[in-house]
Structure 1
Amino acid sequence: MDSLLAAQNDPTSPLYHHYLTTEEFNAQFAPTQDDWNAVAKYARGQGFKVTEDGKDRTTNHLIVNASGTVEMANKAFGITIQNYNLKGRIVYQPNHDPLVPKSVYSLIKNVTGLNNVGTYHRLDQQHRLRQAHPRQGPISGYTPNDLRAAYDINPLLQAKNNGKGQTIALFEMDGYNQKDIDIYRQHYGLGALKPDEVLVDGATNTAGAGAIEVELDMEVASAIAPGAAQWVYIGPNTVTGVENTYNRIVSDNKAKIVSISWGECELTSTAAQMRDTLNTIFKQGTAQGQMFFAASGDSGAYDCDNTINNPTTVSVDTPASDPNVIGVGGTTLHTGPNGSYGSESAWNGTTGQGGGGFSARFPRPDYQKTLNPPGINPLPLQRFVPDVSANADGNPGYSIYYTSGNTTNPGWTAVGGTSAAAPLWAGIAADIAQMLQAKNPPALSQFNKTLYTLYNQPQSYIPFHDITTGTNGYYPADKGYDLATGLGSPDAWNIARDLQSDPVSNVRTLLTKNTSFEDKSVDWKETSSGGYELVSVNNPHIGLYSAYLCGYINCHDTISQTVQIPRATSQVTLSYWVDIVDPEPTNKFRVLLQTTQGKLIKTVRELQTANGNGWIQYTDDVSDALKPYAGKSIQIVFDASGSSTPQSPFAVNLDDVSLQQVSDTSGNTTQMMKKPSFDQGKTPWQQSSKGGLQLINKNFPRTPDTYSAYMCNYPNCQDSVAQTVTLPATTRNIILSYWVYLGRSNTTGACSNTFRSYVREPGSGGRTIASIQKLCSTDANGWMQYSFNLNSTLMSYAGKPIQFVFETSAQTNGRTNFYVSLDDVLLYVTR
């Protein structure tokens, strides 16, 4: 199943975002009826009463439900169930793990229900506190309008994306009062809701002590996605009840969005139950395109605080810790004028803190491999929690209407907790899913991985509020991902627009070559009335070389480069650094765009010599001027002329010239490089090292404790990594992007140590198709990202295999070794 899940999230796979029906899953992965019958037969033989499979329509044959006495269990599993005192609570559990005979050993992955140490608890906090600046709600909690304004949900609703056509499943361990839901929705103008109710294992919809949790879920989901249908799954609060309720949700497969506001300390669940039972259920849901939002807990970094006699043990909540579940943490939200977003900090109040930390049961999933959260050293290899967050502070809390259970103050109340944040995220997902439902393949499925893609790759709109203040009682919030608030809280409209847009819509590709003149005048054309070479070591901005124009009497120097403008272009910018020396009013420096025949397209900028003031960067938008030249070649010309005296020579230093464009693409864009960050094995990357070295390693990755391609760092080296890709026959746009780090050597020559990227026909001796980039050791400037539009060179190879090669070579000795680290190589292809 793991390979299927990977393929469903791999843009190069034909299974990308193609999810299974329940019937398809059962046919491919579920135990057979014969398997289930064999286990049921064994249970009956031990005296247990077996609930017939299919009674609750869980057709995946995953669970055999059996009931019997303690004596039956002791005999059947070779155990002794005993009572224990746990913080004043009498609990029972077996003296060791259960044993089963060989005849059914291969069929049974886990036996649950033999202890009651761990039970699910609500993750809500009820308060009647009032804020200094009261909200509009009847009890001063956050209203639907407040939440929509703070988390930028209103644009979705205004575009009629209110969750209509989507279904949210609510996992519950108690009943609810429909009249409370009706009053809430009527008060806030949300329309009527007739939820579907699914009762599991004999549970009833009788509002008990936990009814406030159920109604909180239903009302918060209503506030954010009033048009979404709600299916309320109610099961008994037992180990088997929990498993059967989750299993019913995935077997029904009615809802693609699931909200879970109940959980327990991870350490009170056995590893077998979490990995073999619950994880299998969540994997099935993920394979079917379902997403699960689970509250991360209200005990900060100490989720076991209420159940284990050691409050100093850091721990997290299940099921938020499962890698196929989106763990939702807690914040304290401060709103601005008209309820707009103001600021947030990690939730750390007197009644609760946002759950977060690292799992004791699950390894870190691929989508978290590059994270390096603060407050933890050494970095563990386990799954990090939470993934995202939202307001959980009960002051002012969420405004809800509640009269059920054993409440002594029926009516309007304010409630907090991460159990409010989970249905908020589920509601946002429903709104976005409606907006994106026409996109093929759907962009919202496997949403946990999607969220990290939004975080790791540049986006047109900032998807998360990065929370950088506060702690959850142990782990601090900080810039980027942290264990207190995860990736941050949602900007719903930005997330929706990022997912709707093409992934390369904001990637700026470089059109100029040898931008810093470190390969001297290669790719540049020089003309000098004084007969001088213009590229020199006179006064570089960065590196060893720059273009030095004029510097003599009655000078006229130009340096130019011919570039091709891609056909699909929405924006083009020209950027360059200039240092004008000894300015005089009669001297000029001009930046021009010309046709290849020398006809002026535009004078981009004319600098009088009075502008001289050291190195200054200029950036000009030349989109309109170059729009008629899409698909054609043009010239960028830098022209200096002066009549200065010998005592005051006019000169211009020019460096770091880049012409960048943003592609105007529409269609289906996929990232086609496999293992772009070199993690999880070396195939399909091909390595070649003159020194016989293993190039894919952890020597110098862009993100700590991950991999990169680390080349050279030995005398007279020549190393390369390459990957073969077949471009789709219908390719319309090709963008290559990568990060590179140049380890500067002590060379004083021009480009004796180099990094090159190019495309060739497959095979070590394949013909070179196109040169993409050449960098010299003197280009070294830390980790740098480069992106290139390859339409003009590779479009004729659509439907054919080609090989991308990244090569490093050096002529250094053992004391001045040059090295290069390559990471995050992405190939975006639009069809």
Structure 2
Amino acid sequence: MFKTAALALPLAAASVAAHAAGSPTIWVGTETKAFLTPEQMRTFAAAPAAQATAGEPEHVVVSLRVRNLKKLEALGRAVNERGNAKYGQFLTPKAFLAEFAPSEAQVQKVVAHLRKSGFVNIRVSKNRLLISADGTVGTVKTAFNTPLVHFRKGERTVVANSAPAQVPEALGDTVLSVLGLQNVTLAHTMAVRGPRTQPKPHAAGTETGHYPLEFGSIYGAASLPSASQTTVGVITIGGAGQATQDLNQFTDANGLAQVNVAAVQTGDPSGNYSDDQEGQGEWDLDSQDIVGAAGGAVNQLIFYEADMDASGNTGLTQAFNQAVSDNAAKVINVSLGWCETDAQADGTVAAEDQIFAAAVAQGQTFSVSSGDEGVYECNNRGYPDGSTYSISWPASSPNVIAVGGTTLFTSSGRWAKETVWNEGLDGNGKLWASTGGVSVVEPVPSWQRALSVSPKPSGRAVPDISFDAAQGSGALVYNYGQIQQIGGTSLSSPIFVGLWARLQSAHANSLGFPASSIYSAVRSTPSLVHDVTSGNNGYSGHGYKATTGWDYPTGWGSFVMSKLASYVSAHPFEQ
């Protein structure tokens, strides 16, 4: 697998020159940059082992550019803005194909390039945004003019591209990025598992575990209808067979009708969609808490299953895209994330942002866990690094709702207080806390420009809102038939999804992407939320502190759903 000779990392310029010497091809860049940087090498404390050999198998997903992204984003604002002539006229997948998707001719040019370079099993997504293909390290070099390098990260042998991915000039206006060239940084779940805890009395109330059906009443949604008219999606890695069994046990135990469940395999038809025992607690948490917070019913729950064996994080990109191109789920839960600067470097941010932009124009809402690492997502996933702060992708996308975490205190089953979720360091020195901060890859969205917080955001600020995430006040869910207590922002996001789905059902699914409206509504009517004003999301004097109004650890805080429902009925609720 490895060459024995010492490796001299190739420079991008030298690589281009060498290729050009034997071919007249003019290469142009994509959004996929060189992933193997000196900074990352120092972070991983590992030296390269060997340049990958030409015959090693590689799978790639090529992201194609939306035609006129600015027009798509403008449409997303228009259809979600009450008073606009296009309000409520959500984009359909058919209209997306006609107006925004890459043309068939563009797709065929890319397919021809891949085939000529040696790729096989070439598959085009139905909205023409993604093309997947199987090849080798050699075909990657031929098609994208970049070498791949092996090195060690901890106990893993990983691979990354040591030069930017490029395409021939004729494809420069079509190919956005090339995904799957690195598996150094992978998305992870945002769940905190532990033993079932005993109630802990505090002056503010009691910290105790909660059954999923309790969250609706705790957050003031008892007067709302269930989400029986709203279809909800859940993004998983691998299969959801066990999660479906556990969900059935949950509904049976609570006297509820079984949920109409569908599972959609979103990547390679021959991929790995088996149940991953480690991940099942996450999908159990998502599905049972969505249904619980939704009042015990949804119209349908669709598991969008990512291929576990997909290269890098391409499986998730394909799962997001499938949920959007299907346009069946009105609200989609994502309890996953990874370092946003790594996501930008390998081209994922560019690829997924346009997928999420299409979702906004279609009136869909992606709800994403902000993260469990406090201010240190990119610092080896939560290991404190002083004042070097970072956040998680895709929570930092302006086209999703980012949901942070609180510690929930109740009294006689009613909401009493919430503080910033921060459990401090575990035995390995890792911080567990609500991720929040400022994006360094996404600009400030228009609806965050008026935030009066210090420091003033220089980029997209995360999170937008927060709900219960502490393991001690976490959800009691069935996992392989046994009750397990689980917290993390993997809990807070599905709580929001279930509550928002109820509001959608109350309004015949006419509500669109709510980010801008959330900010304007809470700014004008602070009583719509439980404002979290105590706690921080850092360690040893670092991180951000909660304060009155919007703050970095918890955003606006948690919704009082009865008040939000009244507000939405009586006021224009725009994007």
TM-score normalized with structure 2 length: 0.79
**Corresponding residue for 1:395?**
472
For residues 382 and 214 of structure 2, the distance between their equivalents in structure 1, rounded to whole angstroms, comes to: 38
Residue type matched to 2:571 in 1?
Answer: D
Any runs of at least 4 consecutive aligned residues in structure 1 with deviations exceeding 6 A, and if so which? none
Partner of 1:141: 209
For 1:386-423, what per-residue CA distance to the aligned partner results, in whole angstroms no more than 9, with x for missing partners? Answer: 010000000031100101xxxxxx61110001001111
Specify the alignment match of 2:258 in structure 1. Answer: 192
Partner SS state of residue 36, structure 1 = helix
Shift of 1:191: 2.1
1:289 to 357, 360, 363: 363
The CA deviation string for residues 448-493 of structure 1, in whole angstroms up to 9 with x for no partner, is 222112112247xx21110000001111110000000001112111
Q: Give unmatched runs, 5+ long, in structure 2.
A: 1-71, 202-206, 427-431
Q: Which moved more, 1:251-260 or 1:492-501?
A: 492-501
For residue 399 of structure 2, what is the amino acid of its counterpart?
Answer: N
**Corresponding residue of 1:77:** 144
1:348 aligns with 2:348: no
Confirm or deny that 1:325 pairs with 2:396: no
Specify the alignment match of 1:223 in structure 2. Answer: 292
Change (3 A) 1:307 1:336: closer
Question: Is the Cα contact below 8 Å between 1:35 and 1:107 reproduced in 2?
Answer: yes
CA contact (8 A) 2:196 2:484 kept: no
- Give the counterpart letter for 2:231 in structure 1: T
Q: Distance in 2 between matches of 1:10 and 1:232?
A: 30
Aligned pair partner of 1:98 in 138, 154, 165: 165
Report the residue type matching 2:390 in the other structure: S
CA distance in 1 between partners of 2:381 and 2:158 (Å): 11
The answer to whether the 8 Å contact 1:477/1:484 transfers is yes
Residues 68-112 of structure 1 show CA distances to partners (whole Å, capped at 9, x for unaligned) of 111211222222211233345432111111121111111111111
1:43 partner SS: helix
TM-score (norm 1): 0.55
Amino acid at match of 1:324: N
1:46 and 2:117 correspond:
yes
Aligned to 1:491: 560
Deviations 1:137-160 (A, max 9, x none): xx962013432232112111xxxx
Is residue 385 from structure 1 mapped to residue 385 from structure 2 by the alignment? Answer: no
Q: C-alpha deviations, 1:597-638, integer Å up to 9, x for none?
A: xxxxxxxxxxxxxxxxxxxxxxxxxxxxxxxxxxxxxxxxxx
CA deviation map 1:628-652 (0-9, x unaligned): xxxxxxxxxxxxxxxxxxxxxxxxx
1:127 is matched with: 194
Give the counterpart of 1:167 among 231, 236, 241: 231
Inter-partner Cα distance in structure 2 for 1:194 and 1:9: 29
Counterpart CA distance in 2 for 1:199 and 1:205 is 10
Moved more, 112-121 or 197-206: 197-206
Verify the 8 A CA contact 1:190 1:223 in the aligned structure 2: no
Residue 91 of structure 2 corresponds to 20
- The separation in 2 between residues aligned to 1:78 and 1:308, in whole angstroms, is 35
Q: 1:276 aligns with which of 350, 360, 366?
A: 350
The answer to whether residue 445 in structure 2 is matched with residue 365 in structure 1 is yes
In 2 relative to 1, CA 122–79 (structure 1 residues): closer, same or farther, beyond 3 Å?
same
Secondary structure of the structure 1 residue equivalent to 2:518: helix
Residue 421 of structure 1 corresponds to: 492
Q: Which amino acid aligns with 1:44?
A: R
Give CA-to-partner distance per residue, 1:12-62, whole Å, 9 cap, x none: 421123211110111111111111111010011100114232xxxx32101
- Write the distance in 2 (CA, Å) between the matches of 1:273 and 1:308: 23
2:274 is the counterpart of 1:209: no
Greater helix content: 2
Residues 310/418 of structure 1: CA separation in 2 closer, same or farther (3 Å cut): closer
1:208 to partner: Cα distance: 2.6
Query: What is the identity, as a one-letter code, of the residue corresponding to 1:372?
Result: S
- 2:184 aligned residue: 117
- Asked if the contact 1:117/1:268 (under 8 Å) is kept, the reply is no
- How many Å separate the matches in 2 of 1:239 and 1:501? 42
Instruction: Kindly indicate whether residue 507 of structure 2 is the aligned counterpart of residue 436 of structure 1.
Output: yes
1:560-575 maps to which residues of 2 (within 5 A)? none
- TM-superposition CA deviations, 1:186-224 (whole Å, max 9, x none): 222332123111012234242431111111111101111
Structure with higher Rg: it is 1
Q: Report the counterpart of residue 12 of structure 2 in structure 1.
A: none
Aligned residues: 478
Identical amino acids, percent of aligned pairs: 30
1:165 and 1:273 map into 2 onto residues whose CA distance is 36
2:380 to 278, 286, 306: 306
- Secondary structure in 1 aligned to 2:460? strand
- Return the structure number with greater relative CO, CA threshold 8 A, min gap 6: 2
CA 1:370–1:236: 2 relative to 1, 3 Å: same
Q: By how many angstroms is 1:4 displaced?
A: 1.4
Contact kept in structure 2, 1:332 and 1:392, CA below 8 Å:
yes
- Deviation of residue 495 (structure 1)? 1.0
Q: Deviations over 1:729-765 (max 9, x none)?
A: xxxxxxxxxxxxxxxxxxxxxxxxxxxxxxxxxxxxx
Alpha-carbon distance in structure 1 between the residues aligned to 2:384 and 2:141: 30
Q: Please show how residues 776-791 of structure 1 align to structure 2 within 5 Å.
A: none
Contact map agreement 2:534 2:545 (CA 8 A) in 1: yes
SS in 1 for 2:179: coil
Q: What is the Cα deviation at residue 265 of structure 1?
A: 1.5
Query: Letter of the aligned partner of 1:143 in structure 2?
Result: Y
- Paired residue secondary structure (2:264): strand
* Mapped partners of 2:290, 2:486: distance in 1: 14
| Cα distance in 1, alignment partners of residues 329 and 548 from structure 2 | 35
Retained in 1: the 8 A contact 2:344–2:350?
A: no
Structure-2 separation of matches of 1:204 and 1:315: 32
Q: Distance in 2 between matches of 1:5 and 1:70?
A: 39
Q: Is this contact kept in 2: 1:92–1:115, CA < 8 A?
A: yes
Change (3 A) 1:492 1:271: farther
How far the C-alpha of 1:272 sits from its partner, in A, is 6.3
Map 1:579-618 → 2, pairs under 5 A: none
CA distance in 2, matches of 1:144, 1:190: 13
Aligned to 1:210, the other structure's residue is in SS state helix
8 Å contact from structure 2 (residues 408, 473) kept in 1:
no
Give yes or no for the alignment of 1:179 onto 2:254: no
Change (3 A) 1:263 1:99: same
**Cα RMSD (Å) of the superposition?**
2.2
In the aligned structure 1, how far is the partner of 2:313 from the partner of 2:337?
11
The 3 A distance-change label for structure 1 pair 447 and 255 is same
Structure 1: distance between partners of 2:383 and 2:136: 30
Moved more, 162-171 or 84-93: 84-93
Q: Whole-Å Cα distance in 2 between the matches of residues 69 and 199 of structure 1?
A: 24
- Structure 1 residues not aligned, in runs of 5+: 404-409, 504-668, 672-831
* Partner amino acid, structure 2, of 1:468: T
Judged with a 3 Å threshold, the aligned counterparts in structure 2 of structure 1 residues 458 and 36 are, in CA distance, closer, same or farther, namely: same
1:249 corresponding residue in structure 2 = 323
Distance 1:488 1:501 in 2: 22
Within 5 Å, give how 1:636-655 maps onto structure 2.
none
